[in-house]
A and B are shown apart, each in its own frame.
Chain A
Amino acid sequence: MRLEYFQLIDRIVDLRLADRKIDTEATVPTTSTVFEGHFPGFPLMPGVLLIETMAQTSGWLVVAVNRFERMAFLAAVKDAKFRMFVRPGQKLSVKAALIHEGSGYAITQANIALDGKSICDATLTLRVLDFPNGEMKLRMREAAARVGFPAEVPADG
């Protein structure tokens, strides 16, 4: 994770298009300016960034389902729960499942686990739109390569 750059996913561990599921991993950095404010003397991974971590995981899944032709933008967060503190240096396992593919939107169920224990979950709505411009698509391709997004999105089934 590079919190200041909103790079919250380190690696795509598994992408199962036929099942509409994805697993990613993300290790909370040991140092970050974010921890200077959240909180002084007791650094914690902010809940909003845990939501973003689930949103980015969901986003890669939706982008993959759409063959990198469309982009996912977070639109709504429901039933978000944070069950325990997340501290610097902890390695998070993130999962997302696409539970509905609508016209121009997608609904995912996402969760984060620490040492096999679920610590955070939410239902996310993402708008699914054409990439606003070529530069964004190019930059997202670069980000995809960084997290190990398959160069060729596997076929369904």
Chain B
Amino acid sequence: MTDAAMSTTAVKAGGPVNAVLNRLVIIVPYLWLLFFFLVPFLIVFKISLSQTAIAMPPYTPSFDLSEGIGGLLSGLKELSFDNYVWLTQDPLYFNAYVSSVVIAAVSTLLTLLVGYPIAYGMARAPTTIRPTLLMLVILPFWTSFLIRVYAWIGILKPEGLLNQVLLATGIISEPLIILNTYTAIFIGIVYSYLPFMVLPLYSALEKMDYSLIEAAEDLGCPPIMAFWKITFPLSIPGVVAGCLLVFIPAVGEFVIPDLLGGSQTLMIGKTLWNEFFANRDWPVSSAVAVILLLILIVPIVFFQQAQAKAQEQGR
């Protein structure tokens, strides 16, 4: 019998009242999803099928509940998929999606490379200092995200801290141009999202039974091999969770590329901003947002499945 089947039996065994209660408990998250995800999504989706207009709000048709069902139906006829066709006609949107996904993917990989040793070190540290280390990872959140990103401008600019230190120590003779480049964006994303990578990795590594490593070493496995054969595979749920937690928000990131990146950075967040604010084209920007959501749903579903798997394994 599978785990799922077993839990169903358990519910049945608890009697009909319990079953109803269990259902009710499940309804709460569904209501949450309905009101804070599905309803807003449907509104955005509806706007994406509308046309722009010089009006308040700047699109047509806008449904007015006072007009009743008739008004609603005549409005529905005016909706069309023109805006989605428009997105395919200009390579701008495709390029922006691709470049956002690439930037997010590279940043995620870099965050993993930086975050893994940190999480590993934390998990292997003496139990007494682990809470302190955990605190240190969370501590930067106490300062506004915006201010922390802004601080990087001061560090990275040509006359900034980093260049001053490097010039003074004679490592370089000309200031490095880092600010307003892709490098600066990667630094910004890695720095800002590092805790989201470290925390799930830490929780996966901390649960690990290190006697497995001892056993491997006793059997003559070199430490590096033991890491790749035992530690890393056991930490994969943490790696997946961390990567998705970094990748998903990084795709739509707007603030970091705007502050640290150069003008040449084409990302979907900025494209969406342009459509919405500069062109006042709420329908096209809604269409851009809907497509972005579809792109992101793939990794989210993947994440859900990985989580479910991890939970089953944990039982």
Partners in one complex: no
B residues neighboring A (CB under 8 Å): none
A residues neighboring B (CB under 8 Å): none
